[in-house]
Structure 1
């Protein structure tokens, strides 16, 4: 027989049960997954005339690491360089169905010219000469003008450890593939420059590509807001 007292006790118990917190889920801590370690070839370079610091861990996406990939341009002969400014990649075509792909930072100049050129020459720790058009916009670069001999190679030089100079029909395109890309800008469009590689990659590609190599630069549309500084 259900008495009034038993009924109230049962109701109170039900109310307390309904208000009790639900059992907590498994509280096993989640161990964060460490980013993959950078390849050793992105370590510090100590065999150059100037020090090349190691690329910091966790800054450069693995897709932008130097790596062999299936050749996306089988129509191009082995040894050809293909620049894709829009994707932020530079490909060195191989002869085995593969290409060596480098991540690249692209500046406004990288979107201003496209076509076929050749590597006229390569320079290690090149002198950077500010063009007159840049000096008009940035007078502080006047000490590094062509007339003044430019900025000597070394740390802080915008061309970095290596530069490949591209010519077309015997004329300088003013288009360069060079080092000095800050790791945080790799694969991104930034305000100036042509195709910028990590210095480790610029050193690597300069050793692989002979003078006279064909370079094909794909057309690309610059992102909104990008412009020469």
Structure 2
């Protein structure tokens, strides 16, 4: 039994930094690296890709809306054709730095508002998948199970990898609780318990029961408080439970 552990990294910009990417890259097996739209800049993209290759961590393009001020977490009205082109643009940008470091982008994960919008809207899901197929049909897509992203990936012939979140609370419909909801971001102990439950049963606990998530990869956000310690505790707990932690690509 194996499971991937991923984190959103490279999310600083200029003099502004977020999280300890180097420490997280000692723990996770896949790195979702910001491509300059919601966060990241050329120097950060280069540095994060180089560290990931050095540490044997797989590189994913963490694509987002063009929204540095809102960190890509604001809902924007972006036409599908524009989203297709912006996805392709971000993919190419990050892949250049990945190749300069000696590897390549192996998968795509939408960020923030785009993650939720593309999961819910077929036209946006199709736009993301169209760009991926144009760039490299061998890419995988990391996202929530049972959504339009998964349906579009199946129709496009792109491998889909289902994701669960250690540090976020779930709703009864299987989505993530909005960040402005009390308790939406879990503390370290609760996140640890949720990660183990996700890995062992494929479910997350919610008020009054459980919800099916069935993840192939578990995410620990790099900007979550105490993220490095949380990720290390999760990895140790998974391995102690006999679950091999390894990348899906």
TM tier, smaller: under 0.3
TM-score in terms of structure 1 length: 0.21
**Higher helix content, 1 or 2:** 2
TM-score in terms of structure 2 length: 0.20
